[in-house]
Each structure stands twice: as C-alpha cells, then as structure tokens.
Amino acid sequence: MVDIDLPVSPSRQHGLALLARFVPRAGEDYAQLRNFDLGPESVASRLSPFLRHRILTEPEVIANVSRKHGTQAYEFVSQMLWRTYWKGWLEMRPSIWRDYRSGVLGAKKRLNTEFGLDRTWELACTGKTGIDGFDAWTRELVDTGHLHNHARLWFASIWIFTLRLPWELGADFFLRHLLDGDPATNTLSWRSVAGLHTPGHSYLASAATIARFTEGRFRPADLAHTAHAVSGSIGPAAGPCPQGGIWDRGVPTALLLHEDDLSPEWLLDAGLRPSSTAFLMTPETRSPMGVSPRIGAFLSSAMRDCAARLSGRIGGIYGPVNGPRAQDALVAWARQSEARQIVTPFAPIGPLSEQLDLLAKRLAAENILLIRAMRPFDAEYWPLATHGYFRFRDAIIGRAMAQPPEGKS
C-alpha cells in the first residue's frame, strides 16, 4: 500500500486533543468569527471528520463546549445540529438520495457528449477556472480533504450559477475528496444552494461577501449576479422515521463496525458481548468517478485505532474489508463466527446503508439476522426534522445542551 500523507491523525486520542484545543474558542470567538475563512487562522474546530465517522460523538462534543461556555456555546451547538437535522430530514425522504444518485449518473453521461460542459467540469475539478478563490478552494480540497464551511457555500454557488455546472457533479466532487463527506449533509447543502431544498431560496455568492469574509484574500470577478432556475426534484412530505433494531441477548452475536460509527462503546456498555468483530469500509461506493485515496487511508487508520482501543471487549477482529468482494468476505466471516445475529450501528441513508441492505439479504439466506442498532441521540432527534431547520433547532437545542454524553450520567 502506498503511504498517504494525512493532514490529521484519525485516532480518537487526536480527536480529543483537537476538541480540548478548540473548546476555549467555542463560545464568543466562534460566534463572531465562524464565517471567516482565514486559512490556518480560521476559528473552525476541524472536528468534522471525527464527527462524520463518529470517532467523536455529537453528545460528547456538545457537552464539552456547553460545560465550558454555557449559553455562549449556542452558536456552535446550533451549527453542529445542522448535521443532525440533515440526517433526520433525509431519513424521512429517502427518494431524495435516490434522485441524487441517478442525477450523478445522468450528469456523468452528459460529460461524455457535451464538449463545453466536459471542459468546464475539468477546469473546475483541477482548479484552473481563473476564478479567484474558487481555484484555491479546489486545490485545498483535493490536497487536504478539508474546506471551510463558508467556503463550501461560495464554491457551490460559483459551481452552479457562474460555471453553470450540474449541482450533482459538484456534490459528487465533494464526496470524492472531503474527509468529512457526509451523504445527507453534502447532498442537502448542495440542494439548498441550488434552491431545491426551499424552492425559490437559492444561495448566490457575491464578490463583496467573499472579499469581506476572507479579509481580502480572495476578490473574484465576474461572478453570476442572478441565480437561474435549477432542475431537480422538490422534497416530498416527511414519511416515517426508521427505528433501530433490538438484539437478542440470548443469541450468539457478532459485531460489525463500519465507517459511519467507530465509537461502539455505547453498545458494549449496554451489554453487547460479541464473539467476533468485523470492520467494513466502502469509500469506493461514494462516487462512480473514483474517490481520493486519502479517504481510504483515513478510514483504515481510524479502524485500526478503534480495534486497538477496544481490544479485549470485541472478541476476535476481522478486517477491515472493502472492495467488490467485501460482501462475500463478510458472509464467510459471519458463518465462521457461528453467530445467529450480527449487530451493527445504524447507518444513515447513503452508500454504506445501501451496502448493509445488500448484506442483510445475504445474511438472511444464511439464517443470520443483521440488527441495526440506533443511537439514543439519533432516535430522539431525527424524527423531529419534519420541517425547516430553525423549528427543529429551537425545539431541541436546550435539551441537547443539557444532556450528558451517551452512556454517561
């Protein structure tokens, strides 16, 4: 395997160190400076890759900043809860994810037939458009797997309205490179910029705004001054929110861990005693156009850290497995473990969830159940994402800030 230079260590220990370093700035500093993209001097927490893969969890991060800052942590917690909102919103509207996946494939076909579109897409993906700021953000994204949250909005707006590229290809570009690339947050944020999440409300970046919030680092010229209508499906009414499964404590059990949740202590503390644990990573399923090797390196390192951290509590360790034969490998592992049920943390809608759907069918043919256990945090808050974000936030933020981390009292 070729060594990949990672900008951040995927270990939980390093994540906790980043959290400790950020907490003093999570109050008033964050509220005043969060929109400023100042490069390495930005007030961003850099915790998002850890939260995305639940190396750190939302409740423990919220508890740490709330304990330090009280109500002054409101702005940071409010921003964190967007992640929870997007996940719950998409769980109740799975057709939006399917439409996005189809849209990527349709836009990819257009690249093969529309020369001008293909050329613009290539320039955008290589940071050669000549647009000040945009090209630098492209290089930062490709080189580090990170991009400031406000820069993501500017980037998406320029991609859609100035370069007039399909929004699905932009969302796909992010998923191919972001270490924190999350299916719900990424897809729905791009839809929001495009004006599809709330019809008639798109986000149009301006040169003045970019210059202001980068303190003059970037001053792009000739950006679009109007937002054209973007084709795409409008979100349907909310359907039922899924519920997690419950495992049988009297049945031989194995544990399957994956890239969507690498902190299974809550399951172990609840009494799960697996005879064996397998690790599954599926970065290649995030895009039909190839994924940065940096993502795979991050995941494999994070899984090794998780296995070492939990050694002695999770039985024999298998994997991580990935690639086209991953399903076969997991079925063989399940047979060898002699388990009658496989418990796995609930995976939100996205490529990993699709892989678990396939695996559940394969295991059922072996008379083995796949039990997808949902975290209490998700079970409590996802069903409330029925309408707009601010209604959701106002209903839960006080409760979320007052709660202890999961598994603690």
For residue range 366-376, list pLDDT tens digits in order: 999 999 999 99
- Is the pLDDT at 134 greater than 70? The verdict is yes
Mean pLDDT of 330-357: 97
Contact 181, 298 (CB under 8 A): no
Assessment of whether the complete model's pTM goes beyond 0.85: yes
Strands (E), 365-408: 369-373
| pLDDT bracket for residue 403 (50, 70, 90) | confident
| pLDDT bracket for residue 37 (50, 70, 90) | very high
The number of C-alpha atoms within 13 Å of 360 and in the hemisphere containing its C-beta is 14
Domain regions of the chain by residue span: 12-91+381-402, 95-213, 253-373
**Cα distance between residue 94 and residue 101, in whole Å:** 11
- Between CA 265 and CA 202, with CA 49 as vertex, the angle to 5 degrees is 125
Closest CA relative to residue 291, chosen from 184, 181, 186, 177: 177
Q: What is the pLDDT of residue 409?
A: 35
Q: Is 238 helix (H, G, I), strand (E, B) or coil?
A: coil
Which tokens is 300 given? 């494999």
Q: Is domain 12-91+381-402 in CATH 1.10.3470, yes or no? A: no
Q: What is the pLDDT of residue 5?
A: 66
Quote the CATH superfamily of domain 253-373: HUPs (3.40.50.620)
Computed over every residue of the chain, the mean pLDDT equals 95
Closest CA relative to residue 88, chosen from 388, 356, 354, 373: 388
Q: What is the pLDDT of residue 4?
A: 66
Q: What separation in angstroms does the CA of 365 have from each of 45, 77, 194, 222, 334?
A: 45, 44, 43, 59, 12
Q: Is 110 helix (H, G, I), strand (E, B) or coil?
A: helix
Mean pLDDT of 8-31: 94
Terminal-residue alpha carbon distance, the chain: 43
Q: Is domain 95-213 in CATH 3.40.50.300, yes or no? A: no
**Cα distance between residue 256 and residue 282, in whole Å:** 13
* Neighbouring residues of 37: CB distance < 8 A, sequence distance ≥ 6: 148, 150, 151, 213, 214, 217
Q: What is the pLDDT of residue 2?
A: 43
Q: What is residue 234's DSSP assignment? A: P
Q: What are phi and psi of 76, to 5 degrees?
A: -65, -45
Mean pLDDT of 345-361: 97
Q: What is the pLDDT of residue 142?
A: 97
Contact 138, 124 (CB under 8 A): yes
List Cβ<8 Å contacts ≥24 apart for 15-24.
15/47, 15/50, 15/55, 15/56, 16/56, 18/45, 18/46, 18/47, 18/50, 19/45, 19/47, 19/56, 19/61, 19/64, 22/46, 22/47, 23/64, 23/65, 23/68, 24/68
List Cβ<8 Å contacts ≥24 apart for 211-217.
213/35, 213/36, 213/37, 213/150, 214/36, 214/37, 214/38, 214/133, 215/36, 215/38, 217/37, 217/38, 217/39, 217/133
Q: Is 371 helix (H, G, I), strand (E, B) or coil?
A: strand
Strand 276-280's sheet: what is its strand order? 316-321, 276-280, 253-258, 341-345, 369-373
Residues 49-78: tens digit of each pLDDT: 999 999 999 999 999 999 999 999 999 999
Mean pLDDT of 298-314: 96
| pLDDT bracket for residue 408 (50, 70, 90) | very low
Residues 197-227: tens digit of each pLDDT: 988 899 999 999 999 999 999 999 999 999 9
Mean pLDDT of 342-355: 97
Before 288, cis peptide (omega within 30)? no
| pLDDT bracket for residue 132 (50, 70, 90) | very high
- Between CA 303 and CA 84, with CA 137 as vertex, the angle to 5 degrees is 50
Helix crossing, 167-177 with 134-144: angle to 10°? 40
- Between CA 285 and CA 295, with CA 291 as vertex, the angle to 5 degrees is 95
Low-confidence winner among 38-52, 109-123, 278-292, 378-392 (lowest mean pLDDT): 38-52
Contact 187, 103 (CB under 8 A): no
Q: Is 279 helix (H, G, I), strand (E, B) or coil?
A: strand
Q: What is the pLDDT of residue 3?
A: 55
Mean pLDDT of 339-346: 98
Please, where are the H alpha helices in 229-313?
A: 265-269, 293-309
